[in-house]
Structure 1
Amino acid sequence: MTADPMLRTQKAWPLEEAGKLADRLAKQGKTHALFQTGYGPSGLPHIGTFGEVARTSWVRHAFSQITGLPSRLLAFSDDMDGLRKAPDNVPNRELLLANLGKPLTKIPDPFGTHSSFGAHNNARLRAFLDAFGFDYEFASSTDYYSQGRFDQALLRMAEKHEEIRAIILPTLGPDRRATYSPFLPIHPITGVVMQVPMEEVRADGTLVWRDEEGQRFETPVTAGHCKAQWKADWALRWYALGVDYEMSGKDLIDSVRLSSAICRALGAEPPVNLTYELFLDETGQKISKSKGNGLTIDEWLRYAPPESLGQFMYNQPTRAKRLYFDVIPRAVDEYLQNAERGMATAMPELAANPAWHIHAGDIPQSAHSPLSFQTLLNLAAVSAAETPEDLWAFVRNYAPDTAPGTHPFLNVLVARAVAYCEDFVRPHLKPRIATAEERAGLEDLITRLQNNAAAIDAMPPGAERAKAIQDIIYDAGRREPFTTPNKDGSMGVGRGWFNALYQVLLGADEGPRFGSVIAAYGIARSISVIQAALAR
């Protein structure tokens, strides 16, 4: 691949991250980059999983474009972790309760479809990542430990045992501090991952410890007979595999700091890290899987295409954002605008466009819609469309040359708009009564639309027709109390007129250019809507 270092001059956070990684590899003399994302497979993949892998993939693509160097993305599952509690939403829960403490890959699958509970959840993770087309290599903690891929690093950790303890101990309470070791031996009889103090950690990598019954064991750190505790395990992976880049959430800032110190103690430089902010719910509270106060990925995809979710994840990853249903329309329209702009932009400026990153440098020509998603939502609301077919009848008023078969992306947006409108728009629409001044303006708008209907209908569908209607709407609003002075001294139309249109006719506070809505809905039908509003 041809390298283009000049891309680093473009303002885009994946390029900035890729630049940091390029500097790291140049300093270390490496010619291949390893990216990593990690998962705890006791639960199912979620919208945060998508965000982390998507963001990492964008940095990876930017790195390849800047340097021309090869790279890999390792999706690492910590499936050797001991199960601490049994989820409530699984069948045969008693199977899990009877095996608490054991590695996930040593616990029977309560679903009865895989060799273990860990294998089941790993399969769900891989299917999730595959569904979005991510390019990755899957890695199992159980496999890496049992196959000896961490043996040398574990022996090194045994050598540095006291130094690593010294890093972690100041962060622990008195009781935990007295018993802490970075090693968790696997009980040779019960198979449980043991959290017990080490009586001795020998230089040859032998752990000496006792179980709850007082029985004494000598366990090698190698060949899957033990695993490392969380922060030490993270550092172990970085050290053993030579990980160059991994991002993580704000809740892991302390873990990154401690794991980085352990990695250095083992003798390696920790990877480049981006700390991304956590999502907030509609009230500004942190999203919690246990509370269920967030938005699931299935819910997002019911109301919008995955590209819009990519747009949401792309925007300012280091700032906290509300992740709730009302952010979806803006994300869709932002994506549409960026994709349209990207198709008309050449490199290197194109590399500053989010759509270029979302599509790995190849924005599809189909990523286009003659109507914004917000317009589709308003159109669905005013038309009371209950099915995509209903809404398509009105879309063709605006763009008669479109059809589901020839415009697949628009077809997706139409279907999503109907679903979103049904659940979130129509139930909250509360049109108000027009004031006397607003009534006069709306009556004038009816007259102007009637007088210009033939000329407008003769115009080609699309932006030109919508602009002509928008001009008529402006003219109808050039009256008190809606006028406002322009910079050149002339009188223009203020937001009050357009707010009145949305509040009186649709029951919404705002929306897209109203000319686009009327163009899509049709002159005759729009006049009927205005007349019905005035008759209330």
Structure 2
Amino acid sequence: MSKTVENIIGKGTWIDKIANTIIEREKKLGRSTSLIRVESGLGASGIPHIGSMGDAVRAYGISLALQNLGFNSELIAFSDDLDGLRKVPHGMPAWLNEYICKPVSSIPDPFGDCHDSYGDHMSGLLLEGLDASNIKYIFKSGTKTYKEGLLADQTHTILSKSKLIGDKISESTGQQKYTQFLPYFPICEQCNRLYVANSIEYIPEERVVTYTCSGNTIGKKPIKGCGHNGQSKIDLGNGKLAWKVEFAARWQAFDIRFEAFGKDIMDSVKINDWVSEEILNFHHPLHAKYEMFLDKGGKKISKSAGNVLTPQMWLQYGTPQSLLLLLFKRISGTRHVGIDDIPQLMDEYDLYEDIYFGKVKEPNDSKRIKINGIYEYINHLNPPKVYPSLHIPYRILIQQAELFKNQTIESNIVNQIFERLKKYGLVKNEDYSNELLQKKINLAIRWARDLSDIDPSESNSIGSTISSNNVINYQQGQISEKASSNDTNLLTSEQKTLLEKIKIEFENLYNKTLKTPPEENSNNDSNNDQLAQEIQSIIFNNARSSNLQPKEVFRLFYRILINSEKGPRLGNYIADLGLQNVIATLEKKISSS
């Protein structure tokens, strides 16, 4: 029996531990805790992806945890839409090359006139994902923030001590740029570009930067300037601070107490921490470092590389709850993620719900508490009061939708899938009006039509490579063997032998149906029921002859077909899937074990 877990903080998750660490730190620093703001930066220079959303969602979770601990908290979602376009992302129109180095908030929307600008469209896509997942935030536009002068005082202080900052950056990173130029990018009044206009001098009494548009190197590509010499008044917002110092300015201006960061900007965060403490006299926020999201090939998910998995793509095939589960499960460790993870996350969310309502027992107290806590955060600390009762594995819905994907009338497909579910004993007539079931069926139909080449029974849980050097490294582990990947469920020699025998009998049965005269092989219910009974008998008899309990063998089939411990009436289900399809699945499973 598992020991009772003591000293639980909040809901018992990594989210609560970080929130508690924030509170303890703020108390030691002697700062007011009447309002605790957390921040997430939103990139606006390319298509936002799952990783971009993860930053905001996790910060939101910590804000929720702070509220749960009794503190007023809010999430600031800051869009860097004054950033300049450094290169044209993969798949975007070539005419964007004309706007390289121009602020993304001044570039026309490449997708039409649905947004005011390129930057507005890109940040809007991420906000759509947050809104669809019911994430609460306060939006801040970088362009408006500078135009309204909200960072003017911080900019003045930073530029007044630019030599000290330039020497520190050089000492810490070896970058010499800011020993020659100020850490501020004016927008050239002649060519309207950032980065190519280099700040030469700051005149504090006038709050003016003098610059020359002499060009710059973006990545490894030299970009020529227009040669204009000018001045930029920092109060007017016609320029922006460099990343090496801008975070610190935002932290002080918005009174930010927590912000996570990816390892790719670690050096910038360290410099910003120093600027915040030593230049702006503001205690930098607590940080948590997260690893990057990688695609299934191990490559970094990148806006410019074109391997982006967006929130919109996910929500075409999965629920917001499945997406939030992906993002809330843990913060540490490299995440290998793909669209094929959706079925696993859909079913895993149902498992979390079963455990939360006590329908599935989790004997490990610590694990159960963490699962319940994550479930509550997924539901914004307002979980359902009553058990939803209808948990049909998403893989079953996809497999059923595959059988009807060539039909054109979606309502007919929904009806046919529902009739199949009723035949399997998974639903009753009154369940037809269940909104969640209807939504999951429609998602499954979309999956079957768009992603029919992906086998949902082979969807793996998210891989992880744990990093050991996190600023805060609160690991949220996998929840149970029931939610693990099929790849970990290798067959024993006895199971392989058993499945070989069953496969041979399935092949004989399939060949017999092929030889049956057409007039005797109609698709009426009685013939289909007879086939289902023969399938059931083959499994049952082989289990008995192998000295196994039939329920153990049924469970093995459920794991192979739908990666679940239980499922529909197996004979009917296999008959509907098609014997030849199941035979192929068995062959693949046997050969891979």
TM-score interval for Structure 1 and Structure 2 normalised by the shorter chain = 0.7 to 0.9
Aligned to 1:456: none
Quote the Cα distance in structure 2 between the aligned partners of 1:369 and 1:318: 33
Q: Is the 8 A contact 2:49 2:309 kept in 1?
A: no
Quote the Cα distance in structure 2 between the aligned partners of 1:310 and 1:414: 20
- Code of the aligned partner of 1:278: M
Aligned to 1:69: 71
Aligned to 1:106: 106
Q: Is the 8 A contact 2:19 2:65 kept in 1?
A: yes
Cα offset, 1:73, TM superposition: 1.4
Q: Is the 8 A contact 2:182 2:200 kept in 1?
A: no
Quote the Cα distance in structure 2 between the aligned partners of 1:170 and 1:18: 33
The 5 Å alignment of 1:136-535 reads 136-170=137-171, 176=177, 179-204=180-205, 205-212=207-214, 216-265=229-278, 266-344=280-358, 349=369, 352-364=372-384, 365=386, 367-377=388-398, 387-397=413-423, 398-402=425-429, 405-421=432-448, 437-438=501-502, 476-480=542-546, 501=557, 509=560, 511-512=562-563, 516-518=567-569, 521=572, 525=575, 529=579
- Code of the aligned partner of 1:193: L
Quote the Cα distance in structure 2 between the aligned partners of 1:286 and 1:510: 31
Aligned to 1:457: none
Aligned to 2:50: 47
Secondary structure of the structure 1 residue equivalent to 2:201: strand
Quote the Cα distance in structure 1 between the aligned partners of 2:250 and 2:296: 37
Q: Is the 8 A contact 2:555 2:566 kept in 1?
A: no
Quote the Cα distance in structure 2 between the aligned partners of 1:286 and 1:187: 33
CA shift in 2, pair 1:494/1:231, >3 Å: farther
| Structure 1 residues 83-135: Cα deviation after superposition (integer angstroms, max 9, x where no partner) | 333456556x64x4444333233344453455443344444444443333221
Cα offset, 1:33, TM superposition: 0.8
Quote the Cα distance in structure 2 between the aligned partners of 1:22 and 1:245: 10
Tell me whether 1:56 sits opposite 2:59 in the alignment: yes
Quote the Cα distance in structure 1 between the aligned partners of 2:23 and 2:456: 52
Aligned to 1:23: 24
Q: Is the 8 A contact 1:158 1:202 kept in 2?
A: no
Indicate the structure whose relative CO is greater, using CA pairs within 8 Å and at least 6 residues apart.
2
Secondary structure of the structure 2 residue equivalent to 1:517: coil
Q: Is the 8 A contact 1:441 1:479 kept in 2?
A: no
Cα offset, 1:497, TM superposition: 8.5
Quote the Cα distance in structure 2 between the aligned partners of 1:211 and 1:427: 52
Which stretch shifts more, 282-291 or 117-126?
117-126
Quote the Cα distance in structure 2 between the aligned partners of 1:433 and 1:292: 45
| Structure 1 residues 489-527: Cα deviation after superposition (integer angstroms, max 9, x where no partner) | xx768988866x57xxxxx9554458623269469x579
Q: Is the 8 A contact 1:79 1:140 kept in 2?
A: yes
Matched-pair identity in %: 25
Cα offset, 1:171, TM superposition: 5.4
- Code of the aligned partner of 1:167: K
- Code of the aligned partner of 2:414: P
Which stretch shifts more, 37-46 or 136-145?
37-46
Which stretch shifts more, 374-383 or 138-147?
374-383
- Code of the aligned partner of 2:316: R
Q: Is the 8 A contact 1:385 1:418 kept in 2?
A: no
| Structure 1 residues 420-447: Cα deviation after superposition (integer angstroms, max 9, x where no partner) | 35665677699x999773368879x99x
Quote the Cα distance in structure 1 between the aligned partners of 2:503 and 2:121: 63
Quote the Cα distance in structure 2 between the aligned partners of 1:106 and 1:533: 58
Cα offset, 1:334, TM superposition: 1.1
Quote the Cα distance in structure 1 between the aligned partners of 2:405 and 2:150: 61
| Structure 1 residues 253-296: Cα deviation after superposition (integer angstroms, max 9, x where no partner) | 22222221221122111112222222222223322333333533
Q: What is the TM-score with the length of structure 2 in the denominator?
A: 0.70
Cα offset, 1:303, TM superposition: 2.4
Q: Is the 8 A contact 1:477 1:497 kept in 2?
A: no
CA shift in 2, pair 1:227/1:292, >3 Å: closer
- Code of the aligned partner of 2:568: V
Secondary structure of the structure 1 residue equivalent to 2:256: coil
Which sections of structure 1, spanning at least 5 residues, go unmatched? 447-468, 484-490, 503-507
Aligned to 2:519: none
Which stretch shifts more, 74-83 or 400-409?
400-409
- Total equivalences in the alignment: 488
Which stretch shifts more, 56-65 or 309-318?
309-318
Q: Is the 8 A contact 2:16 2:62 kept in 1?
A: yes
Aligned to 2:524: none
- RMSD over aligned Cα atoms: 4.3
Quote the Cα distance in structure 2 between the aligned partners of 1:410 and 1:477: 34
Which sections of structure 2, spanning at least 5 residues, go unmatched? 1-5, 215-225, 360-364, 408-412, 458-495, 511-534, 588-593
Cα offset, 1:240, TM superposition: 2.0
Secondary structure of the structure 2 residue equivalent to 1:412: helix
Aligned to 1:131: 132
